[in-house]
Amino acid sequence: MTPPSAAYWCERAWLPDGVVVRVRVEVADGLIRTVQAGADPRPGDTRLPGVVLPGLANAHSHAFHRALRGWTDGALPGPTDGALPGGRGDFWSWRRQMYALAEALDPDGYHALARAVFAEMVLAGVTAVGEFHYLHHPPGGGRYADPNAMAAALRAAAEEAGLRLTLLDACYLTGDLGEPLTGVQHRFGDGDAAGWAERVDLLRPDAGFRVGAAVHSVRAVPREQVSEVVRWAGEKDAPLHAHLSEQPAENARCRAAYGRTPAQVLDDAGFLGPGSTVVHAVHVTDDDVALVGRSGTTVCLCPTTERDLADGIAPAGALRDAGSPWCVGTDQHVAVDVLAEARAVEMHERLATGRRGTFSPAELVDAATVAGHRSLGWADAGALVAGARADLVAVRTDSVRTAGSDPAQVALVAGAEDVRTVVVDGRVVVDDGVHRLGDVGRLLADAVGAVRARADR
Ligand SMILES: [Zn+2]
């Protein structure tokens, strides 16, 4: 369905050169046709108060992890390695809980959960999501009748929730650097990179759906197989992502197996480059920073997850200075708030360096909009300019959080709860704070409840 033409009159809008007052944006066929500053509203225009940002991009998501929010900080079940009473533990004890949830998902349950999570994202101003997807197969590791049934569930969920999806289909072949897959990991595996590519080739992109490639990590993909995934992405001109050095243990195992850091292993395989994105980059060496930056590889930072999972703080300023563009993702969704994510990068940098302002407010908005979209293969989105996709996110400047502040510093103060209207590809998906699917809290409660009931059985 072609979206109708429309015109929006913005009290203020975030244009490429900064915040401009009285901006009229004409939209047709899902694209921005004209952007006129200093304009008067015309009859029939939709008025957008506050400050209108370009669409936000959530460049790293695992939708099903949303069902862990609010469940991982009490007493931990199961074996106690890495876990201590009272919710104490580490990344690896958290992963055990995540795996229990992964066991419980089928395509229908995944569809309902992802639909609610994606709707939560649109409520927060997200117009495109990169879903880093590795839960491919039924329990035990057979195949669904449609080998991409889980991907199809995600795709339908995104369509219904009203945002664009880049499916970062992840190759996941080994348990831990050469160890065989165990337990739920059998659901992730395609045997080898050729088997992965054969399945991914069955996916068909469209105007709102792109297929990207992902190397889960150097833990999960042997280095000679990484090259195969890189080659596939190059042939398809597809976005290419990988988790990188989220935990010290990954580095230690990688050095033991290869005598190289994970960043060096990715570089050896031809992974690094301007079309690629590494996620986290927390435990990188100075040489890794130089290597990643010099290659022009984008870094996707997920600070709310990285602190929730006790990962650490990525050297974001150093990576930027070395040459890497950066974007953000809400990853395991302890919060779904892309502005808060961008802000946290600057805040963590302050804690780590003792200095304020490594990143300007404009850099935070760029990371949350244009850089994230580019990382996901939507080079035509993330800016309010003629010819771009018509994504508009109206943020309140009269809320208790934002009232009285300089609109140019909105990224330092506003959050998901301040997003009032969201237009995606010319369609109004959130109107005055209400998503077209209705009560998203209810959708989340129902979907999370159903999955948790299965997981706890
Ligand atoms: Zn991740």
E strand or H helix at 126: strand 126-133
State the pLDDT confidence band at 82, using cuts at 50, 70 and 90: low
Which residue stretches of 63-106 are H helix? Answer: 91-103
% of the chain at pLDDT higher than 70: 96
Distance from residue 132's CA to the centre of ligand 1 (Å) = 7
Distance from residue 174's CA to the centre of ligand 1 (Å) = 17
Give pLDDT, residue 178. Answer: 85
Q: Which residue has the higher pLDDT, 3 or 216?
A: 216
Strand partners, 441: none
Cβ atoms 58, 329 nearer than 8 A: yes
Q: Which residue has the higher pLDDT, 91 or 25?
A: 25
Q: Under 8 Å CB-to-CB from 302, ≥6 apart: which residues?
A: 60, 279, 280, 328, 329, 330, 331, 341
Give pLDDT, residue 370. Answer: 98
Distance from residue 401's CA to the centre of ligand 1 (Å) = 30
Distance from residue 207's CA to the centre of ligand 1 (Å) = 25
For β-strands 18-28 and 46-54, DSSP reports them as unpaired
pLDDT at 78 over 60: no
Strand partners, 48: 10
- The identity of residue 40, as a single letter, is D
Distance from residue 242's CA to the centre of ligand 1 (Å) = 8
Q: What are the structure tokens assigned to 96, written together? A: 């055990």
151-201 pLDDT tens trace: 999 999 999 999 999 999 999 999 989 899 999 999 999 999 999 999 999
Average pLDDT, integer, range 294-312? 96
196-233 pLDDT tens trace: 999 999 999 999 999 999 999 999 999 999 999 999 99
Distance from residue 279's CA to the centre of ligand 1 (Å) = 7
How far from chain centre, in Å, is Cα 316? 17
Give pLDDT, residue 83. Answer: 53
- The identity of residue 33, as a single letter, is R
pLDDT at 439 over 60: yes
Give pLDDT, residue 90. Answer: 87
Q: What are the structure tokens assigned to 62, written together? A: 């695992």
d(CA 13, CA 19): 6
pLDDT at 84 over 90: no
Q: Is the dihedral of CA 290, 292, 298, 301 positive or negative?
A: negative
Nearest to 410 by CA among 329, 335, 359, 339: 339
Give pLDDT, residue 25. Answer: 98
Distance from residue 332's CA to the centre of ligand 1 (Å) = 7
Output b/e per residue, 26-39; b: 16+ Cβ within 10 A. bbbebbbeebeeeb
Give pLDDT, residue 455. Answer: 86
d(CA 295, CA 113): 37
- The identity of residue 379, as a single letter, is A
pLDDT at 92 over 90: no
- Mean pLDDT for all residues in the chain: 95
% of the chain at pLDDT higher than 90: 90
- Cα–Cα distances (Å) from 282 to 63, 247, 369, in that order, read 22, 7, 22
Place of tokens 């302002």: 357
Nearest to 130 by CA among 118, 112, 119: 118
Instruction: List for the chain the helix, strand, coil content (%; round to 5).
Output: 40, 25, 40
Average pLDDT, integer, range 374-397? 98
Burial of residue 286 (CB within 10 Å: 0-12, 13-18, 19+) is exposed
Distance from residue 144's CA to the centre of ligand 1 (Å) = 24
Average pLDDT, integer, range 70-95? 68
129-148 pLDDT tens trace: 999 999 999 998 799 999 99
pLDDT at 3 over 70: no
State the pLDDT confidence band at 89, using cuts at 50, 70 and 90: confident
Active site (catalytic) residues: 280, 331
Distance from residue 334's CA to the centre of ligand 1 (Å) = 12
Nearest to 86 by CA among 99, 100, 72, 75: 75
Distance from residue 408's CA to the centre of ligand 1 (Å) = 31
